[in-house]
Structure formats: structure tokens, C-alpha cells
Amino acid sequence: MPSWIDTHCHLDAAEFAADREAVRQQATAAGVAHCVIPAVERANWDAVRQLAHQHGDSYALGIHPLYTARAVDADLALLAQALEQHRQDPRLVAIGEIGLDFFAVGLDPARQEQFYRAQLQLARRFDLPVILHVRRSADKLLKGLRDIAVPGGIAHAFNGSLQQAQAFIALGFKLGFGGAVTYDRALQLRRLAAELPESALVLETDAPDIPPHWLYTTAEQRAAGQPQGRNAPAELPRIAAVVAGLRGLPLEALARSTTANACAALPRLAGLVQES
């Protein structure tokens, strides 16, 4: 059975509170050998670190753009302190989840950019890659990366243009593909998954978010009482099968290349994957 890395899984999310252990065990049974657990705000930095150590996974520390409205400026100094405190922890593999979101309503773009650029500076200071939230913000994110060079990372849930994809790749980034690529109507994204260099792709679930098509229910179905399926890291091999089908690759070959790509994007992963 192929072995996979879920490069983006919010295992600490409240949706998993009732059965978190079982969720991780099911992922292991499905072949998911490793999960990267990114933080979203100061309140969950300890939780992601503890979960990573508990399950032999890894974690990232950062402030998500959707949480900048309730973050305070002092959180950036506290993030620097946390990064310093845990800088020798091999399971701390990145700064993240950071970035910009110009889709969500009611967020201050200037405040998002303040936090984004400050965290890029921290990535430089601590020589860590970044895990980027990219939603209608690719060009602005790329400008920040050109102004403040960092040691690469992952553009999570990438859904931009070919030109934007190539720009991230040129800056040393890998592109995260997950549940969104399983939808037949996602023509541009599926084209990218099929045609981008194999060396550019990593796989992710973003669990419990971005469910693949087999878990999705429409608004009408939900109104009729059919619940939305919960995305979980155990879905990764099935998502991978879609990507492998689009590329015409054997699953084992995709598992090898995406594992190597994840380790290239997040270099501390290499030692952890060898251990597991």
C-alpha cells in the first residue's frame, strides 16, 4: 500500500473533538504515514504542537489571515518567542498557516498584509519555510515573497492561474492539491494537476475543510436534513487516486514523488518520515 503525507490537516479542529484518536488511526490504516498540522492563531499553538508529538506528526506555528481581526499586534512578538522556544524541535517544520484572503468579507486587507509580512520576516529570521493560505490573493502574496525572500514552502489549496503557479514554483514553492481537484467542474485546477511538473505537487486534505466531491452535499440536501460529510486525513489516498488518474501515473509513483516534494518544501520532514 502506498504511503502518503497529508501536508495540511487541522487535526486540532473542534470537528474532531469527539474522535480525534480514531480519526488519526483511520488515516494511518489508509496509508497516511504523516500529517502536517498548521496553527491558525495563538490559542492553538500548544494544541498543534502537542498533537504532532502525540502522533509522530509535525506542526507549523502562525497566524491565519482569517484570524487577524481578533489577533493583537503583541501576538507577533509572542509568535517570535514560541519559535525561539521550539526552534530545536524537529517537529516544527514551518511557519503557518499565514497569507492573505481577499474572498472573505469584512477583513481589513492592510491588517492582513501587516501580519503576512511580519511573519515572512520571522520565516527569514528562523530559516523556516512557510505554509501559505492563498485565496484570491496570489499576486499580492507573490509580491510579498519577492520583497521578503523566505526558504520556500507550500502554497496550500492552490487554485490560481498557470502563470501564478509558475511564479510560486520559481520562488521555490510546492503547490498543495486536495479535495477541490476531485470536482469535475474544477476544470482549471484539474488541468494544473495534470500538466504542472510532477516536482511541483504535494497532497493535502485541509481536513475538516474542503471536502472532496464524495463528501459534499448541496444546500438543498443539507436543508432536507442530509449532513455535510466530514473531511478527514483518511480521505487523502482517494484524493491522490484522482490526481494520479489525471496525470496517468501509478499510485505508487505519485506517492513517491509527492513525499519527496513535501520533504523538499519542508526539509525537517525528511528525518521524521524516515523515522516513521
Contact between 2 and 251 (Cβ < 8 Å)? yes
Q: Which residues pair with 38 in a beta bridge?
A: 60
Contact between 36 and 7 (Cβ < 8 Å)? yes
Q: How far apart are CA 8 and CA 26, in angstroms?
A: 17
Please tell me whether 34 is known to bind a ligand: no
Which grid cell sits at 83?
A: 519559535
pLDDT value at 276 more than 70: no
The pLDDT assigned to 229 comes to 86
Q: Kindly write down the DSSP assignment for every residue of 42-62, as one continuous string.
A: GGGHHHHHHHHHHHT-EEEE-
Mean pLDDT of the chain: 96
pTM reported for the whole predicted model: 0.97
Please tell me whether 86 is known to bind a ligand: no
The pLDDT assigned to 275 comes to 73
The pLDDT assigned to 221 comes to 82
Please tell me whether 133 is known to bind a ligand: yes
pLDDT in tens, 40-73: 999 999 999 999 999 999 999 999 999 999 999 9
Count, residues in the chain? 276
**Domain segments of the chain: what residues?**
4-275
CATH class label, 4-275:
alpha beta
Order of strands, sheet of 4-6, starting from the edge strand that comes earlier in the sequence: 4-6, 32-38, 58-61, 92-101, 130-135, 153-156, 173-177, 201-203
pLDDT in tens, 147-185: 999 999 999 999 999 999 999 999 999 999 999 999 999
CA dihedral 39, 239, 265, 109 (to 10 degrees): -50
pLDDT in tens, 102-139: 999 999 999 999 999 999 999 999 999 999 999 999 99
Q: Is 108 left (phi over 0), alpha (psi -120 to 50) or beta?
A: beta
Please tell me whether 156 is known to bind a ligand: yes
Please tell me whether 206 is known to bind a ligand: yes
81-119 exposure pattern, b = at least 16 Cβ within 10 A, e = fewer: ebbeebeeeebbbbbbbbbbbeeeeebeeeebbebbebb
